[in-house]
Amino acid sequence: MPEATYHFPQGFLWGTATSSHQVEGGNINNNWYAWEYEAGRIAQGQKSGLACDWWGGRWKEDLENAAKYHQNSHRLSIEWSRVQPRPDRWDEDALEHYRQIIKGMLKLGLKPMVTLHHFTDPLWLYENGCWENDKAPSYFTEYVKKVVPALKDLVDLWVTINEPAVYVTGGYVGGGFPPGRNDMGAAFKVMSNLLKGHAAAYRAIHELQPAAEAGYAKNFRGFEPARAWFPPDVWMAKFNHASFNEAFSDALMNGKINFAMKSAMVPEAIGTQDFVGINYYTVDQVVFKPLAVKDVFSRRFYAPGSQLSETGFIANLPRGLAAALKWAKKYNLPIYITENGVEDSRDTLRPQYTIEHLHEVWKAANFNWNIKGYFHWSQVDNFEWERAWTQRFGLWGLDLETQKRVHRPSVELYGEICRQNAISSDTVRKYAPAAFEKLFPG
């Protein structure tokens, strides 16, 4: 059998990613807490509740497990509603709590990447129009100006906003996120204000910490025409790509946002990213549907025969990550894969999915593309938004009744890759034999 090893660049960051509401537990002062208590909003009526009990101290166990299995970084987020529970109040104890978590990470040898906004907003902002409110960018900037001085001696890698396109489409284009509206005008306004908030946050970070790196995390969704020979399908795939993948990112180059069939100039956004953050999961087939007004005249689905995750939420299509990396390269900046993973409670698809996607990362790095790190989603099963606990993305499982962490085989797989800074044929043969022939043919 072939024997080979694919080595990653020296100093490559290997980590997992989490977000505050999904792991902390007890977040009762944000829009998602309110959303969870609206009937029919969350799968099976489930609640985040204690989540993974990070606020109660279980972050120590999870991050110790990460370090034990050779990770050298971790991406986490700060909960705005904890730091600023009311417009006129800052909670210094909450900031100190985050300092202790990040100090704990550093003691374990984990470099922190800190996200400042990961889907959740303080209840006081939510009740006042959230990001439709034109004051939201300035509110967000004040919060950033509070957090960065408190953590800048510990953190130099910042993500301003996580997945703005998901936030907007989920909340304002008929999705399952709060406030659950279908209003393209509001969607455009929210996207524009998120862009302004990102730009202001970026500039505030660099005023306070000139040597820091700051960017945002882009959910790159692949869109392919279901019928490559049919021009309307091709056009709709391009339209979806332009709206979802490029609207926010291109505005950081040219200051113009094109989204929801509207456009506006936001010149202050030009040049406000030091790296490209990519969250990648899968690829959609796109078909033109002239009567599907609510879905912007298209339907998306996975190609027949695709290898699907257990609830059908994700198709295992590593070529989409290759496309995402090629797309990111045009910005001529360092690239981090800030999220990548698959829901898999039985841990049967995850080993193959992980290996095949990391192989695409290695191929790009082997071409000397400036890829600096990979963060697997996630370290432990957590509250997956409107899908709640019905999907399990963790390397480690979570028993909700006992908070016990459950060791899965993928822990060992990812640990070996992190330890070696490489993918070896021995590792693939042992942990992900289904991927062996693809990585080591012949």
**Domain boundaries of the chain, sorted by first residue:** 12-411
**How many helices, marked H, and strands, marked E, lie in the chain?**
16, 15
* Under 8 Å between Cβ of 60 and 102: no
pLDDT (mean) for 24-41: 98
Instruction: Give per-residue pLDDT as tens, 304-347.
Output: 999 999 999 999 999 999 999 999 999 999 999 999 999 999 99
pLDDT above 90: residue 285:
yes
Is cis: bond before 378, omega within 30 of 0?
Answer: yes
Mean pLDDT in the chain? 97
CATH class of this structure's domain 12-411: alpha beta
pLDDT (tens digit per residue) in 61-113: 999 999 999 999 999 999 999 999 999 999 999 999 999 999 999 999 999 99
| DSSP codes of every residue in 154-182 | T--EEEEEE-HHHHHHHHHBS-SSTT--B
Kindly tell me the sign of the dihedral angle through the C-alpha atoms of 203, 204, 209, 214: negative
Separation of alpha carbons 253 and 150, rounded Å:
30
Sign of the CA dihedral running 18, 48, 99, 88: positive
CB 263 within 8 A of CB 257: yes
- Decide if 297 contacts 288 (C-beta within 8 A): yes
3-state class (DSSP) for residue 325: helix
Look at residue 175 in the predicted model and tell me its pLDDT. 79
CA distance 318 to 354: 9
Please give the pLDDT value at position 290.
83
b/e map 347-384, b = 16+ CB within 10 Å: bebbbbbbbbbbbbbbebbeeebebbbbbbbbbbbbbb
Long-range contacts, 322-328 (Cβ 8 Å, 24+): 322/360, 322/363, 322/364, 323/220, 323/222, 323/283, 324/220, 324/222, 324/278, 324/280, 325/278, 325/360, 325/361, 325/364, 325/369, 325/371, 326/364, 327/220, 327/245, 328/220, 328/276, 328/278
Q: Which long-range contacts (CB under 8 A, 24 or more apart) does 175-181 make?
A: 176/41, 176/385, 176/386, 177/35, 177/119, 177/385, 177/386, 178/31, 178/32, 178/34, 178/35, 178/41, 178/126, 179/31, 179/126, 179/130, 180/35, 180/41
CB 17 within 8 A of CB 378: yes
Bridge partners (DSSP) of residue 218 are 278
Closest by Cα among 413, 325, 438 to 373 = 325
Look up residue 377 and give its two tokens. Answer: 């989603």
DSSP string for 211-226: T-EEEEEEEEEEEEES
The reported pLDDT for the residue numbered 291 is 74
pLDDT score of 140: 99
Residue with tokens 């070896």: 424
Residue where the block lists tokens 């996580």: 162
- pLDDT tens-digit series, residues 367-383: 999 999 999 999 999 99
By mean pLDDT, which of 122-131, 170-179, 190-199, 365-374 is the weakest? Answer: 170-179
For residue 141, what pLDDT is reported? 98
Q: Which comes out higher in pLDDT, residue 293 or 269?
A: 269
Q: What is the mean pLDDT of residues 227-237?
A: 96
List Cα–Cα distances, 165 to 99, 112, 152, 173, 272, in angstroms. 30, 24, 28, 10, 17
pLDDT at 442: 82
Question: What's 228's DSSP letter?
Answer: T
pLDDT surpassing 80 at residue 293: no
Reference 72, options 112, 118, 37; nearest CA is 112
Tokens linked to 224: 């392919």
At 353 the pLDDT is: 98
Amino acid letter, residue 359: H
Residue that has been written with the tokens 């078909």 in this structure: 287
Q: Within 13 Å, how many C-alpha atoms sit on residue 395's CB side?
A: 23
pLDDT > 70 in the chain, percent:
99
Residue 100 confidence (pLDDT)? 98
Of 44, 104, 51, 17, the C-alpha closest to 403 is 51
Residues 38 and 119: their CA atoms lie apart, in Å, by 17
pLDDT (0 to 100) of residue 1:
66
* Model confidence pLDDT, tens digit, residues 406-436: 999 999 999 999 999 999 999 999 999 999 9
Q: Where are the alpha helices (DSSP H) in 15-91?
A: 20-23, 31-36, 59-68, 80-83
283 has a pLDDT exceeding 80: yes
Tens digits of residue pLDDT in 104-142 = 999 999 999 999 999 999 999 999 999 999 999 999 999
Position 261 confidence tier, pLDDT thresholds 50, 70, 90: confident
> In angstroms, rounded to a whole number, what is the distance separating the alpha carbons of residues 316 and 432?
14
Distance (Å, whole) CA 266 – CA 252: 9
